[in-house]
């Protein structure tokens, strides 16, 4: 008697598992149907689709773990969701036009003009020899320590 009840529970659990597995397989087949259409998309659109599929899959996992009350099991899914969100932000930032995203560095025109003017001006040549004047330094004051 005891073994018959356990056997019935086991058979019931296996049939339920098979039903759930078939449902998952149908969903995975739908994802396989998506793959041939990916070739028609641009690289950016492919990245967006891949991110969307990854995000939705991990969001479903997170919801499942959360509904089952498993606090420690849903943390990896939550971390993956955050990681995928950063990819979405990166895709958005790469696809925004430059006029919407101004450069962070601006040229100081007045300073640039001063640098250019200073480098373009040539020192005056000595009229007698035609050579540039050598800068003469002031005579050095004698060292106080040297007098002792």
89 and 47, same structural domain?
Answer: yes
* Non-local CB neighbours of 47 within 8 Å, separated by 6+ positions: 87, 91
Q: What is the pLDDT of residue 24?
A: 79
pLDDT digits (tens, 9 = 90+) for 6-43: 888 888 888 888 888 888 788 777 777 777 778 888 88
Q: Is residue 121 part of a domain?
A: no
- Number of domains into which the chain is organized: 2
Same domain, residue pair 26 and 56: no
Query: Which is more confidently placed, 122 or 76?
Result: 76
Q: Does the residue 139 lie in any domain?
A: no
- Kindly state whether residue 83 falls inside one of the protein's structural domains: yes
- Whether 10 maps to a domain, the answer reads yes
47 and 75 in a common domain: yes
Give me the pLDDT at residue 142, please: 60
Same domain, 6 and 34: yes
Q: Are residues 14 and 54 in the same domain?
A: no
Coil vs helix vs strand at 127: coil
- Is residue 11, in this structure, part of any structural domain at all? yes
Kindly state the average pLDDT of the residues 125-141. 59
Query: What is the C-alpha separation between 137 and 9, in angstroms, rounded?
Result: 103
**Do 47 and 34 belong to one domain?**
no
* Residue with token string 């003009």: 113
Residue 110 maps to a domain: no
* pLDDT digits 0-9 by tens, 59-118: 888 887 887 777 776 678 888 899 999 998 998 888 776 555 556 677 788 888 888 888
CA angle 121, 123, 125 (to 5 degrees): 135
Q: Are residues 64 and 32 in the same domain?
A: no
- The whole domain housing 58 covers 42-94
**Residues 24 and 6 both lie in one domain:** yes
Residue 99 lies in a domain: no
First to last CA, the chain: 118
Cα dist. 49→24, 53, 130 in Å? 20, 6, 72
Q: Quick one: tokens of 70?
A: 């498993």
Residues 46 and 89 in one domain: yes
- Residue 104 within a domain: no
Instruction: State the pLDDT at residue 86.
Output: 92
């Amino acid at each position: 008697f005891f073994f018959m009840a356990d056997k019935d529970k086991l058979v019931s659990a296996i049939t339920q598992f098979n039903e759930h597995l078939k449902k998952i397989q149908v969903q995975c087949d739908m994802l396989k149907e998506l793959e041939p259409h990916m070739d028609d998309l641009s690289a950016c659109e492919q990245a967006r689709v891949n991110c969307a599929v990854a995000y939705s899959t991990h969001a479903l996992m997170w919801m499942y773990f959360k509904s089952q009350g498993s606090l420690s099991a849903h943390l990896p899914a939550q971390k993956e969701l955050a990681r995928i969100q950063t990819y979405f932000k990166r895709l958005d930032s790469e696809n925004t036009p430059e006029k919407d995203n101004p450069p962070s560095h601006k040229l100081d025109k007045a300073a640039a003009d001063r640098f250019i003017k200073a480098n373009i001006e040539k020192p005056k040549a000595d009229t007698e020899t035609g050579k540039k004047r050598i800068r003469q330094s002031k005579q050095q004051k004698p060292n106080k320590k040297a007098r002792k």
